[in-house]
A and B are shown apart, each in its own frame.
Chain A
Amino acid sequence: MLNRIAVILLLSLNASVFADESRPSPDQALLKMQQAMEILNYQGTVAFLRNGSLNTLKYFHASADGSSQERLLSLNSPLHEVIRDADKVSCFFSGSAQVIVDHRPSARSFLIDLPENLDSLQDFYRLEFAGEEKVALLASYVLDVLPKDKYRYARRIWIEKQQYLPLKVEVYDHAHKVIEQVVFTELQMQKSLPIVDVDAATAGRKIQHIHGRSPDSFDNARFDLTQLPGGFHKQLFFTMAMPDPGHPVEHLLLSDGFSSVSVYLEHTKDKVELGPHVSGSVNAFSFLQGDYLITVMGEVPAITVRHIAEGVQLRQSKPVSD
């Protein structure tokens, strides 16, 4: 009898060892997902739950010759198509025949923001498997991305076990409430998918181009940051020429890889609403320093935008030019 129990115990231990060997570590799974998202061709239907609204869109990801393209096709009004290339986002509106081409120095995936370098991630997030589940009938690893401090939100990612594509992403606030959700309701792999030539598709149509986001050196900014939550780095700085209220707005983009925060500075003499604001998962905090309105916003907790805002200081040497 004892021999039989020993054999059973050995078998069960072996099974668990094999299971661990076949399953990657959490950071390996995240790395594989990052690569799969970039190089694979896939399409499906994605539901986006953001800012309290649910949008269901057909999703296409095409990759060829080292370049990739994301395409979203709305299934409900307002009917529109969004195409993300490496340096721009193009939006085609069916009803108004309007086309907007937003030239962005760094356009991130519509599905999930991922850091380019995963090495530094573990200083600020803890990665843990939380089991396995099926999403859109596909078996997936459930990976928790847990912040080590209070300055960022927790995430849960369902990673498909064969191809390592993200099937579902949820972002939670500190009260465990889901504040953002992206989920594939069906997903198909393809050998290849066409990359849409946006220039050809928009030929002969009236297009609104958004430029003016050429990266500049942060040394030229009128403000400086004296405190930042760990892991947040300056990604981009540029000056946007906003027509309303009619003068330039400085924009600094910060990111810790998963979450991004923007700092805006503009000259104003108008009466403006100050303090904290919230819109879905986006928190913002506005305040005045002299005649300058400073706003910090991002998909981070309120405490984070407030913390960054408290560290904004105007540079004395920068000449004021309006």
Chain B
Amino acid sequence: MTEPLNQKISQLLDDDLSREEALDILMKLQKQPVLQRKMRRYEAISHALKAEAYIPIQPGFAQAIAASIDEEPVSLPMRRPLAKPSFWMLPALAASLMAVAVLMPQETHRYDRPPTKPVAIAGNNIESIMLTEPAAPVSMAKVETVETSPAAASRLNKYLQAHNSSRYIDGSANLYPYARVVSYNQE
């Protein structure tokens, strides 16, 4: 009885059984741990013969992976319920496609930033000019942009304070020695 079973296991590993015979032996393997161990040994021998190397797999390896997968939390993205197909769906789809075909060439830039023509002017100075720039020539040769030194920043800060009230938004008005600025007119 054992010998034909061993034969069947060997044939199963070599894929030599018919579908019915394979199902039969698999049913038996599922019920008999002895046969399962035997199949693993045959599997290892077959693997070693074919690959000329042997990597032992611990018993229960596959079950451990299956158990880990079972313990993984499942999170599914929210799905928007699909609208029921209606009579108007096909014409609406056709109309949309037509609208896209007609409007696409002029609408593709819609969410771009406002159009300007970037980067011009020679040297180290970079300037850009609006597309709708008038033809009038610019009187200055160069426009340089430099970081402001602390001394100049102090003066500019006073000016900026007078220029608009945005300095109050970030609270930076308080960081400046304001008492000196307002002392001339304090009540």
Give A residues with C-beta under 8 Å from B: 4-5, 7-9, 11-12, 15-16, 48, 50-51, 53, 55, 57, 72, 74, 77-80, 82, 84, 89, 91, 93, 96, 98, 100, 102, 104, 107-108, 110, 126, 130-131, 133, 142, 144-150, 154-156, 172-176, 207-213, 240-244, 251, 253, 260, 262, 264, 272-273, 275-279, 282-284, 286, 295, 297-298, 302-303, 306-307, 310
Residues on B with C-beta less than 8 A from A243 are: 180-181, 183-184
Check B187 for interface membership: any CB of A closer than 8 A: yes
Residues on B with C-beta less than 8 A from A12 are: 95-96, 98-99
Q: A98-B174, A209-B182 are in contact. Are A156 and B128 (CB under 8 A)?
A: no
Q: A146-B132, A262-B163 are in contact. Are A279 and B153 (CB under 8 A)?
A: yes
* A5-B90 Cα distance, complex, nearest whole Å: 11
* A92-B164 Cα distance, complex, nearest whole Å: 17
Q: Looking across the interface, which residue of chain A has its beta carbon closest to that of B96? A: A12
Query: Which stretch (B18-26, B67-75, B139-147) binds chain A?
Result: B139-147
Whether B185 lies near A156 (C-beta < 8 A) is no
Q: A12-B98, A277-B152 are in contact. Are A149 and B170 (CB under 8 A)?
A: no
Q: Looking across the interface, which residue of chain B has its beta carbon closest to that of A104? A: B165
For chain B, give the interface size range.
35 or more
Residues on B with C-beta less than 8 A from A150 are: 129-130, 133, 138
* A2-B134 Cα distance, complex, nearest whole Å: 49
Residues on B with C-beta less than 8 A from A262 are: 159, 162-163
Whether A260 lies near B186 (C-beta < 8 A) is no
Whether A295 lies near B169 (C-beta < 8 A) is no
Residues on B with C-beta less than 8 A from A96 are: 174
Residues on B with C-beta less than 8 A from A72 are: 168-169
Check B32 for interface membership: any CB of A closer than 8 A: no
Whether B146 lies near A278 (C-beta < 8 A) is yes
CB distance from A172 to the nearest CB of B (A): 6
Whether A303 lies near B145 (C-beta < 8 A) is no
